[in-house]
Amino acid sequence: MMRVLSVASECVPLIKTGGLADVAGALPGALAECGIDMRTLLPGYPPVIAAAQGTEHDIGALFGGPARIVEGRLGDTVLYVLDAPHLFDRAGGIYLGPDGRDWPDNAERFAALSYAAARIGAEGAMGWTPDLLHLHDWQAGLTPVYLHQLDAAPMKTLITVHNIAFQGLAPAGKLELLGLPDSGFTSEGFEYWGQISALKAGLVYSDAISTVSATYATELLTPEYGMGLDGVLRSRRADLHGILNGIDGTSWLPPYKSPRGKAKHKAALRQEFGLPEAEGPLCIVISRLTEQKGLDLLLEALPDLIEAGGQLALLGSGDPQLEAAFRKAAGDPNVSVRIGYDEPLSRRMMSGADAILVPSRFEPCGLTQLYGLRYGTLPVVALTGGLADTVINASPAALAAGCATGLQFHPVTADALRITLARLSSLWQDQPVWQRMMRNAMAHPVGWDQSARAYADLYESIVSRP
């Protein structure tokens, strides 16, 4: 049985800020079906430490304080928790302090996670040694560098890019503090415009690279989407793989088996959000409120949706200007806004809505559109990244073939979104077609089966390399 250590900065249900946590939580169970023994290394934030009650392995001092690896369990998954209270036991978010800014020692905190991963790769932990380290995003990106320093370079590594916009940059003055070699601080190494880039280290030194959809893998090779790392990725094109994320179908399970069951949940959602009856589709947004997510475009197109009889219920937080703009938009009786995040509420929204709007300017994979498909809540998405790979656009050909599952728009502009929302409203009026699309969406495969097999095959190909 192949042994794989997944190294992540967050993991459901223990700690979550985004889709990475969902993926890290779902992968071990999905890969177990493929005969992979995957264990997960996490930082010892307070909610995670509570799950770590097993054997301990001391790894000495790390960046100003003692550190140890503690074994724990999360259901059937074995956890390894990096217990370093001086780095992780603190109030605030896992990346941001109470002031809303990055923790000033984030470079050290996640270098410590990378170093702990390298130590497990080099020495094993609690009698278990992995065959491969699966690294997630910049927080684990320095691991291959530390493996070389520990003379454990034969240990194979795969890094997955969940969002290349986050690169783990640190001042060059921290080279010595982080224990990084001067020889690596070059354009061919982990130097990025005079700074240390943890993500670039992972891209340069890992044995292989994956990202979370085939389209995003192609987009990353371009200056528009590569965020300054497109040249590095083009140089490693042969080692770059796009594997779609999935969702946990046992967790995200609609409370109905057919489109007919949605009606009572829609009525309850309208009541919860204080929305009246309407002649058009009830649309939802569940999202961070950021420019990346294209929600400024939605604000421009929203009046047309409302005029056509549609409604909007939004749950999210982020940019203060966007928060204020949506609060102002909620002055219309057919718009209701909740600022914040509430997972039980998000599930009720999925159950009751007709459509979910995801107008992202870029989206590596996206999970909300997958939840929408699962619930028969038709996704309206920009033609980018994983949104392009997971939604079958209601084009005339797809409607004639009876296979459409949602709507896509391109270019990613307010005008294109406005036109697509008009199409949405028109389709809503043709209920036989709408019901067919809902059935298609609910039957569309969104689980981990195919993707887990693809990861297992990729692991095998990496481990078998000389």
CA–CA distance, 96 with 89 (Å, rounded to integer): 13
- Is 16 assigned a ligand-binding role in the annotation? yes
Residues paired with residue 409 on neighbouring β-strands, in sequence order: 382
Q: Which residues are annotated as a binding site for ADP-alpha-D-glucose?
A: 16
Q: Which residues are annotated as a binding site?
A: 16
